[in-house]
Amino acid sequence: MVKYCCAPGCLNAWNQNKNVTFHRFPHKRPDILEKWISATKIKNFEANFFAMVCSDHFTVDCYTENNLHRRILKKEAIPTIFKIPTEKLKNCNETEESQQTSSIEISQISQDKIDSNGDIDVLDHKLDILQKSDEDMSCCESAKNQIKDGWFREINDMWPGQHLALKVEEVLSCEKSKYQDVMMLRTSNHGRALILDGIIQCTENDEFAYQEMISFLPLCAHSNPEKVLIVGGGDGGVAREVDKHPLVKQIVQVEIDQKVIDVSKKYLPNMAKGFDSPKLDLKVCDGFEYMKNHKNEFDVIITDSSDPIGPATALFSESYFSLLKDALKPNGIICSQGGTVWAGVDYIKNTLDHCRKYFKEVRYPVASVPTYPTGQIGFFMAALNENADLVTPKLKLSNEDLDRYNLKYYNSDIHAACFVLPNFAKKILYG
C-alpha cells in the first residue's frame, strides 16, 4: 500500500474542473513527509489531507499525458480513499485507526471527471521518487525513457528490430548501483519484474522456468553434485532451486552487486528465500576474481548472469570458460545463461566455440520463458569428461519428487527434450 499526500487546493480543484495531483511518499515515514511539507511551504502551498491508496482502487487503464503517467481511480473507491482527518497535519504520523474521519460526498466531484464507467481520472502517477541522489535520479530518468504510455519497453541491440513490452502498474524502486541501473516494476499481468540496465531479468509470473532449468539441468546430469558454485543470481532464484536437490550439501554464491540482493529481498521474497538456505555461503564479490583463487573445488558451477553488457560481459569471454574449467573437479559440469537462437545465433556459436576449447562435451539446451526476448532462453552446458551424457538425467525425479520440490517446469522428460534444436540452429551450432 502506498500513501499519497494530496496537492494544494484539491477539493476546490474538483469543483473547478481542474486536475488533482498527488505526491507519493513511503508509508509510515514522517521524516520524508516533513521534507515534503517544508518544500510546499516554500512555494506557499498547504497540504489538504492524506489518502491511503492501493492497486485495487484503480482500473486497469493507464495512459500518458504531458509526460506524466496517469491512472484511473474507480468511482466506488472514492469514499474509502478520500477522508479528511480532524487532527492537524502535525499529527500525521499517528496511525490511521486513531484518526477520526469523514467522507467526501461523491456529489462534490465534478461530473467532467467521471467517465462512462463512473471512474474518475484524478491521479498523476509520477515516477519521481523522493530522497534520491543525483545518480539515483539519473536511473529514474532512464526509467521514464523506457516507460511510455504505461508500458515498459526492453529495447536491445542484441535483438534489433523488435522489443518486448510489459504493462506497468507502478515503479516500485529505481536505483543506480556501483555497477548498473536496478529497477523493480509492478506489472499488470506478470507480477513484479526486476530490470537491470533496461533488460528484464525475471518476472514473478514465469521466473520458475528459467531458475529450474538452469539449476536442475546440470544438477541432474551430474552423478553426485555435492558442492555447487553460483556466479551471479542476485535475485536468489537459482539458490532456491539448487537448495532443493537432495544430493547438494554445500552452495557457494558470489554476486557482485549488493544492490540487486537488497532489492530482491525486499520485492521478490519468493525468490530471495534462496538466501535463507543453511547450505548457502553468500559472498558479495566478483565471481571472475573469486574463481582465480578456487581451483578443483566444485562439482557444478552455474552462471546466472544478465546479457553480455555491463558487469556481465566478462562472463561470456573465453578467459571465463578457462576459469570455470580450473574451478571444477574432474567430472564437473557447468551451465550458463545463453541467449536465444532466434536473435543472435552467431553470437551463441562464437561462445560455444570458446567453451569447446576447455570442455570435452558441450551442448545448448533451451527453455520457454515468455518474458524473455523471443519467448525462449538457451543455456551453455558443458562437461569436462568427454564421456559425459548431459542429455540423460542421472537423477530422475518421480511425480512425487516434482510435487515435493515444487517444480513447475523441469521434469526428466523435459530434460531430454530440451536438447532437441530446430534444423537451422543445429546446423549452425553443431555443424
| 184: β partners | 173, 194
Integer-rounded Cα Rg, in Å, for the chain is 25
| Type and span of the H or E element at 300 | strand 298-304
104-113 long-range contacts (CB < 8 A, ≥24 apart) are: 104/11, 104/78, 104/79, 106/75, 106/78, 106/79, 108/11, 108/14, 108/15, 109/14, 109/78, 110/14, 110/15, 110/16, 110/17, 112/17, 113/14, 113/17
Return the C-alpha cell found at 408: 513447475
DSSP letter for 337, please: E
Which amino acid is located at 137 in the chain?
M
Catalytic annotation, pick one of 304, 353, 389, 403: 304
Contacts of 124 (CB under 8 A, 6+ apart): 19, 21, 22, 68, 69, 70
Identify which of 107, 82, 93, 102 has the alpha carbon closest to the alpha carbon of residue 10.
82
SS3 303: strand
CA separation for the pair 188, 151 (Å, rounded): 10
Residue keyed to cell 506557499? 44
Q: How many CB atoms lie within 10 A of CB 148?
A: 14
Any catalytic annotation for residue 262?
Answer: no
Nearest-5° angle of CA 29, CA 32, CA 34? 110
CB 256 within 8 A of CB 284: yes
CB 196 within 8 A of CB 259: no
Return the C-alpha cell found at 377: 532462453
| Type and span of the H or E element at 267 | helix 258-267
CA separation for the pair 313, 73 (Å, rounded): 44
DSSP letter for 124, please: E
Return the C-alpha cell found at 206: 514465469
- Residues catalogued as catalytic: 304
